[in-house]
Amino acid sequence: MLFGLSHAGIRHKKVLLSLAVLSLWAIPAAAVAGDEVAFLTQDNANILWTLLAAILVMFMQAGFGCVEAGFTRAKSAGNIMMKNFLDFAAGSIIFFLFGFALMFGSDMGGFIGTSGFSLAGVADGDLPWTYTFWFFQSVFAATAATIVSGGMAERTKFSNYVLVSLIVTGFIYPVSGHWAWGSLWLGDDGAGWLEALGFCDFAGSSVVHSLGGWLALAGAMVLGPRVGKYTEDGKAKAIPGHNIPLAGLGVFILWFGWFGFNPGSTTTADNTIGLIAMNTSLSAAAGTVAAMTFSRLRYGKSDISMTMNGALAGLVGITAPCATVTPGSSIIIGLVAGVLVVLSIEFIDKVLKIDDPVGASSVHGVCGAWGTIACGLFNVGDGLFMGGGASLLGVQLLGAGAFLAWGFGGGYVMFSVLKALFGLRVSKEEELKGLDIAEHGSESYNGFQLFTTE
């Protein structure tokens, strides 16, 4: 024993003692000799796991920034990063002051929370968990807000986007979040109306993704398309992204962070997190493969941006059902999501003629709704999510509809009012110049020769 290590071959099961014995064996001799041996409490383990998961989810902000910047043009890349910083930064503060209380505070009629503003009034004993839970929820809130920026890329006035971001994180997101997750914080102060019905949205296909996606759709619609996106006779023109490796890195970052998003939603260090991770991985894989294959069948070549969106579609789709379906079902859920996202992007682009530059409404809105419904279709949970007498599928459909109505409807009202009051959009000249110069007075790629015609 050269290192004071207890063993070197733990992976070789033929020499592996039972863990009960190992545990004692791993304790420093001194401890065994006289001291009491201390163990990690489950409470502190939950704090540890939830914090680590939150950190992973926080990093998804980087992923969104890279995906959105990569899939749009070089002349607005810095502005997109700025919106992502804003969403997380202003969002964290507003969620501390208001959002968290509206989402998780004492329930009022199943519709909204009413206590815990700035975490005021929390009992001392509840504070360590509350800090951790707040942080975990704050990065979820920021995710929802960031999704919106994708649909509104390359033409939104920065000063007004600030308002959008604050309203989403401070009000729209927490209100509908309360419907589905209102009792998750301390739990004894009443549930939201959807969770009271037994609505299943384990990690937020609806709460986070659909909401963000439907808001993005409303925003893109109220803003109108980018200059040059549609010809005079209404034909959609592709405006390709300027940095595909950056977007690809962004997708990998999101995929990575999603292993905090889904397994972390246990907020408990227990033995279910392996299944959740496996389901998350398989659905993302299936979404990737489906979009890669389906785009090849449809366009003759495997499309890069569709494939990347397929990965995200699989991730969004498994977010609600990840804890309550089998690995086999996860593959099916991902395959459907990967096809759905291709069809939806086409439909929104070519039929609805709404210019959503990164496909946010398809990836997060449509596939979030799919995930919510899939949770009802493939459920093998032990009944905890089932509402009283109603079928789970019915509740899931109701919930998906409620998020569509609130996200798209509420978003439409918000964007229309902001447009009427301040004007949401930059001028045509500013848009042609690019938002980096127009809104921030600087370029993103100094020294590089860029084509000036687009």
Judged by CB under 8 A, which stretch of 13-21, 170-178, 207-215, 417-425 contacts a copy of itself?
13-21
Number of residues that bind a copy of itself (CB under 8 A): 177
Give the SS3 label for residue 63.
helix
Distance between CA atoms of 177 and 164, rounded to whole angstroms?
17
Encoded one letter per residue, x for contact with a copy of itself by CB under 8 A and - for no contact, window 69-108 reads: xx--xxx-xx-xxx-xxx-xxxxxx--x------------
Of the candidate residues 98, 129, 214, 403, the single one contacting a copy of itself (CB under 8 A):
129
Q: CA angle, 59 as apex, 56 and 64 as ends, to 5°?
A: 130
Of the candidate residues 282, 313, 358, 395, the single one contacting a copy of itself (CB under 8 A):
282
CB of 223 to a copy of itself, least distance (A): 20
112: part of which helix (H) or strand (E)?
Answer: strand 112-113
Could you tell me the CA-to-CA distances from 168 to 199, 264, 365 in Å, in that order? 22, 23, 15
231 in contact with a copy of itself (CB under 8 A): no
427 in contact with a copy of itself (CB under 8 A): no
Q: CA angle, 398 as apex, 392 and 403 as ends, to 5°?
A: 125
Dihedral over Cα of 140, 92, 441, 152: its sign: positive
Window 330 to 359, contacts with a copy of itself (CB under 8 A):
331
328 in contact with a copy of itself (CB under 8 A): yes
251 in contact with a copy of itself (CB under 8 A): yes
205 in contact with a copy of itself (CB under 8 A): no
Instruction: Name the β-bridge partners of 425.
Output: 156
Q: Between residues 227 and 304, which has the closer beta carbon with respect to a copy of itself?
A: 304
Q: Between residues 90 and 102, which has the closer beta carbon with respect to a copy of itself?
A: 90
CB of 346 to a copy of itself, least distance (A): 15
Residue 364 contacts residue 213 (beta carbons within 8 Å): yes
Window 156 to 185, contacts with a copy of itself (CB under 8 A):
158, 181, 183-184
268 in contact with a copy of itself (CB under 8 A): yes
The residue assigned the tokens 């207890």 is 6
Q: What is the DSSP string of 193-224?
A: HHHHTT---SS-IIIIIIHHHHHHHHHHHHH-
CB of 389 to a copy of itself, least distance (A): 17
CB of 225 to a copy of itself, least distance (A): 18
Token pair for 94: 């507003």
